[in-house]
Chain A
């Protein structure tokens, strides 16, 4: 393990420290000692050391300042927009755990502490589930209400939306399920009657005004309080989970603003969903609740385990699919997913789903609006249209990613990005003006999907279910295929127009400066296409039941084709084409339907769509946005297939000045400070001397700055000419020379090294598997250069003929 904690009194035998080539003796001494005191926990070693040594490193009065007397606050933390050191965090946690485990044998109180430490993870998961479930329930209820606010108000109590206003009324009719006198549309309130051209225009104007108001409030709140709350958040969470730090991204202001503005953005009629932002909200809950437990507050690696579970909770409350949520976290969002996290994520997702169910936002204990309840069988020949839907989904996914990235890039680089508020308002105005005339775009997208997923029976009276009922003595399930009436044809072309509208408007909506998700619009596009194809197939089968393809299985009077199923398969195909989800998508869809009947069509469509989309463009939408923003995300799924070596990638290159290093005992405080101010490197290797270039360790810039500043302020005697030592023992100094500063405790004594002839494939693999941030390169045992994660990303970009300067962070 690394000796970062630096317990003082680490003495071995009374060996002197040589300054040059007596290092061999020192190293030998170190190995001897380690073999003896192998599993003694650090505390005991400290006691043993103090008893046997008289070196006076700790506690003896001298003029050296031992920088490890108490841990300096801030050492071990990270800069904003930097990558964490996974190895260091994990070993810190192992040390802490070892300490607690060893102390637990001492007293009952310590035993209770160790039990509560083990239990704290589960308690944290419970709290995250409760909080995220409650927030999701609140968001659902508020969004429903606000969406209906664009249409009218309830006189019974303004807090009821349209459906709940007419819940107890007896005035609802079969054809108009939501009619009641207590619900007044704006035309009725303003001009008194609800029919006629004037009323239509009033309703239109009020709809557009409310939409603009909601959008304006949303973008102003985001801009004023939490600019990190915009967008979907999944790309940034992916990067955070791979080790990046974005301070404030998962903070409490971001949580509050994201929750409030998500409701506003969804209610304004924009073509966006709330699933992606719900993942961000759940991760914010996770991050905030981590602060209650020291174990997770202080350790970045453990915190990311909790955040993986929180991401699972987010999808679970969005779709009412706990298993799908865990698989989504595993497949899409997380980088390292230890097995322990799997069980805990599932627990948290279940708690959240249960909490949401008790809040019951949709009535009937449904967790999501478009829960599917039919179970009609499908025939093997229908796989052909399902695969066609998959191909469409893949094509649409690739098209959407290309156009959306182009639009976002334009927003990033041209003047379009200087007017975010105006952009949101213009897009909302266009959306509202174009959406109102068409019945299928006026309703919220979730309701549209729910209507499209619905299988038409005798009890339905919507336009889409206006079939001619020939044989009126059948019961309401198991209806045969019927010919369509005129309303169905109206609905078909209205849906086609809605499809074109949604395809175009989502491209400009995703990525705006309001919380926006992508799942619902993609599913809507797929569902519309699927339903159109399904109704087409159904009518084809009815009118041409003597064709060869229908003859065997679709006799007249049988219920062969279910357009609702086609809509569902289409939705899955489009969602898979955009996000490139595989297992998680199928599991989410099958949890939505509550049965395994439709797994084969869903899988066929999802696989086809992924293959088609992958053939056109390699990345899903989230990876594409990561690439656009230049985050240092090392893709775990890509293979590195080039034959370069470590020396081709390392810095310094042949033409550059040699590597900036610190020596272990020749530098003064002034030298180090000059070095820090002249360079921008985030870490420096420490060598024995400039001539020998033999590696001692690696020290981070931030730790150096904090330690030196702390020493200057807290310890008298440290001036610019004080010597800095990274060695074990400092040579005794005459009392006239200034105090010495020992910084061995902040140095990483076991930096990872590779030789210069190591193939880059192995180097990339090491970086991925261990989560390294930098790796030193040696040649014949001497330090030659350094490879950082940013260098690897730039190299990979160069190999793929992309611009290497697009990698912005390290």
Chain B
């Protein structure tokens, strides 16, 4: 139970911190000094006479981003440079590798946590419960499911006002309620095909 609670709070904390990191990255991206690897000037030069087309990449700043600075070594002799450069197109681009790295790592960690939790719920929890509490508890928790009365919600509303003093009991109760909700949703969507077909 403690593990479940820790997992749930860790979840929410990760989501919140992930969002915070994203927002922080947005704000710091413009203020901190740009990594020199994250800017480039890309010049695309099409085929000219016998020369094949070529792409030139250099990390220079925006004011130096033109054909004369970037295209090195110049493949044509002096008098043709202007004609060659007229056909080249130079663009200044920048990116934030920190944002990309942070996003991918956050995404993979959330995905990993969810997968672990799913494995735990489907495989480990029934085994653990059976070992700790025996068969009777398992059957009891299954009976809570399937309250199809339209007033399951009404009873929920009233019972929510009863106070629960024990924190762990609260977590357990919240988790049971969530599981019941997911099971109801699964019944409507996957089994009875009532919603979202």
Chain A residues within CB distance 8 Å of chain B? 73-74, 77, 79-80, 130-131, 134, 137-138, 141-142, 145, 157, 159-160, 164, 167-170, 172-175, 177, 217, 220-221, 223-228, 230-231, 236, 246-248, 253, 256-257, 260, 263, 355, 358-360, 363-364, 408-409, 411-413, 417, 420, 458-459, 461, 472, 475-476, 511, 513, 628-630, 680, 702, 705-706, 709-710, 713, 808
User: Which of chain B's residues have a CB closer than 8 A to the CB of A680?
Assistant: 150
A130 closest partner in B (C-beta): B23
Complex CA–CA separation, A247 to B93 (angstroms): 45
Q: Is the CB of A263 within 8 A of B110?
A: no
Q: Given contacts A141-B99, A223-B186, A263-B107, is CB(A358)–CB(B26) below 8 Å?
A: yes
Q: Given contacts A172-B55, A224-B118, A230-B196, is CB(A73)–CB(B157) below 8 Å?
A: yes
Q: Is the CB of A246 within 8 A of B195?
A: yes
B178 closest partner in A (C-beta): A253
Complex CA–CA separation, A111 to B45 (angstroms): 66
User: Which of chain A's residues have a CB closer than 8 A to the CB of B160?
Assistant: 73
User: Which of chain A's residues have a CB closer than 8 A to the CB of B107?
Assistant: 138, 142, 260, 263
Q: Is the CB of B19 within 8 A of A131?
A: yes
User: Which of chain B's residues have a CB closer than 8 A to the CB of A225?
Assistant: 114, 118, 182
Q: Is the CB of A157 within 8 A of B29?
A: no
What 4 A-B pairs are tightest by C-beta distance, nearest first?
A174-B53, A74-B157, A159-B104, A458-B46
Q: Is the CB of A513 within 8 A of B189?
A: yes
User: Which of chain B's residues have a CB closer than 8 A to the CB of A145?
Assistant: 100, 104
Complex CA–CA separation, A172 to B53 (angstroms): 11
Q: How many of chain B's residues have a CB under 8 angstroms from any CB in A?
A: 67
User: Which of chain B's residues have a CB closer than 8 A to the CB of A130?
Assistant: 23
Q: Is the CB of B189 within 8 A of A475?
A: no
User: Which of chain A's residues have a CB closer than 8 A to the CB of B49?
Assistant: 472
Q: Is the CB of A174 within 8 A of B195?
A: no
Q: Is the CB of B37 within 8 A of A168?
A: yes
Q: Is the CB of B87 within 8 A of A217?
A: no
Shortest CB-to-CB span from A793 to chain B, Å, is 16
Q: Is the CB of A168 within 8 A of B40?
A: yes
B106 closest partner in A (C-beta): A138
Q: Is the CB of A227 within 8 A of B189?
A: yes
User: Which of chain A's residues have a CB closer than 8 A to the CB of B19?
Assistant: 131, 134
Q: Is B171 an interface residue (CB 8 A)?
A: no
Complex CA–CA separation, A256 to B18 (angstroms): 12
Q: Is the CB of B57 within 8 A of A168?
A: yes
Q: Is the CB of A476 within 8 A of B87?
A: yes
Q: Is B175 an interface residue (CB 8 A)?
A: no
Complex CA–CA separation, A358 to B40 (angstroms): 18
CB contact between A173 and one of B54, B158, B185 (< 8 Å): that residue: B54
Q: Is the CB of B93 within 8 A of A175?
A: no
Q: Is B140 an interface residue (CB 8 A)?
A: no
Complex CA–CA separation, A224 to B123 (angstroms): 12
Q: Given contacts A74-B154, A159-B105, A228-B196, is CB(A358)–CB(B29) below 8 Å?
A: yes
CB contact between A159 and one of B23, B101, B181 (< 8 Å): that residue: B101
Q: Is the CB of A224 within 8 A of B193?
A: no
Q: Is the CB of A79 within 8 A of B150?
A: yes
Q: Is B66 an interface residue (CB 8 A)?
A: no
Chain B residues within CB distance 8 Å of chain A? 15, 19, 22-23, 25-26, 29-30, 37, 40, 44-49, 52-55, 57, 59, 86-87, 89, 91, 93-97, 99-101, 103-107, 110-111, 114-115, 118, 121-122, 150-151, 153-154, 157-158, 160-161, 178, 181-182, 185-186, 188-190, 193-197
| 20 contacts across the A-B interface (CB closer than 8 A) | A77-B157, A131-B19, A134-B19, A141-B103, A159-B101, A168-B57, A174-B55, A225-B182, A228-B195, A230-B189, A236-B196, A263-B107, A358-B29, A359-B25, A360-B96, A411-B193, A412-B197, A459-B44, A476-B89, A710-B158
Complex CA–CA separation, A56 to B84 (angstroms): 98
> How many inter-chain residue pairs (CB < 8 Å) link A and B?
180
Complex CA–CA separation, A141 to B106 (angstroms): 12
Complex CA–CA separation, A86 to B128 (angstroms): 48
Q: Given contacts A159-B101, A228-B185, A358-B29, is CB(A221)–CB(B114) below 8 Å?
A: yes
With A141-B100, A168-B59, A706-B158 given, name 12 new contacts (CB 8 A): A73-B161, A134-B19, A137-B22, A138-B106, A142-B104, A145-B100, A248-B185, A360-B99, A459-B46, A475-B87, A706-B154, A709-B154
**Which of B46, B104, B151, B197 counts the most A-chain CB atoms under 10 A from its CB?**
B197
Shortest CB-to-CB span from A612 to chain B, Å, is 28
Q: Given contacts A168-B37, A172-B57, A174-B52, is CB(A628)–CB(B197) below 8 Å?
A: yes
Shortest CB-to-CB span from A458 to chain B, Å, is 4
Q: Given contacts A159-B101, A221-B118, A476-B87, is CB(A226)–CB(B193) below 8 Å?
A: no
User: Which of chain B's residues have a CB closer than 8 A to the CB of A174?
Assistant: 44-47, 52-55
Q: Is the CB of B190 within 8 A of A359?
A: no
Complex CA–CA separation, A177 to B54 (angstroms): 10
User: Which of chain A's residues have a CB closer than 8 A to the CB of B97?
Assistant: 157, 160, 164
User: Which of chain A's residues have a CB closer than 8 A to the CB of B185?
Assistant: 226-228, 248
Q: Given contacts A167-B95, A174-B54, A459-B46, is CB(A138)–CB(B103) below 8 Å?
A: yes
Q: Is the CB of B23 within 8 A of A360?
A: no
Q: Is the CB of A359 within 8 A of B104?
A: no
Q: Is the CB of B196 within 8 A of A629?
A: yes
Complex CA–CA separation, A263 to B178 (angstroms): 25
User: Which of chain B's residues have a CB closer than 8 A to the CB of A630?
Assistant: 194
Q: Is the CB of B86 within 8 A of A475?
A: yes
Complex CA–CA separation, A177 to B103 (angstroms): 25
Complex CA–CA separation, A413 to B154 (angstroms): 31
A630 closest partner in B (C-beta): B194
Q: Is the CB of A142 within 8 A of B110?
A: no
Complex CA–CA separation, A364 to B62 (angstroms): 13
Q: Given contacts A159-B101, A629-B196, is CB(A363)–CB(B95) below 8 Å?
A: yes
User: Which of chain A's residues have a CB closer than 8 A to the CB of B154?
Assistant: 74, 79, 702, 705-706, 709
Shortest CB-to-CB span from B113 to chain A, Å, is 10
Q: Is the CB of A231 within 8 A of B194?
A: no
User: Which of chain A's residues have a CB closer than 8 A to the CB of B101?
Assistant: 157, 159
User: Which of chain B's residues have a CB closer than 8 A to the CB of A74?
Assistant: 154, 157-158
CB contact between B194 and one of A79, A226, A808 (< 8 Å): that residue: A808
A474 closest partner in B (C-beta): B87
User: Which of chain B's residues have a CB closer than 8 A to the CB of A224?
Assistant: 118, 121-122, 182
Shortest CB-to-CB span from A405 to chain B, Å, is 10
Q: Given contacts A174-B55, A359-B26, is CB(A706)–CB(B157) below 8 Å?
A: yes
User: Which of chain A's residues have a CB closer than 8 A to the CB of B95?
Assistant: 164, 167, 360, 363
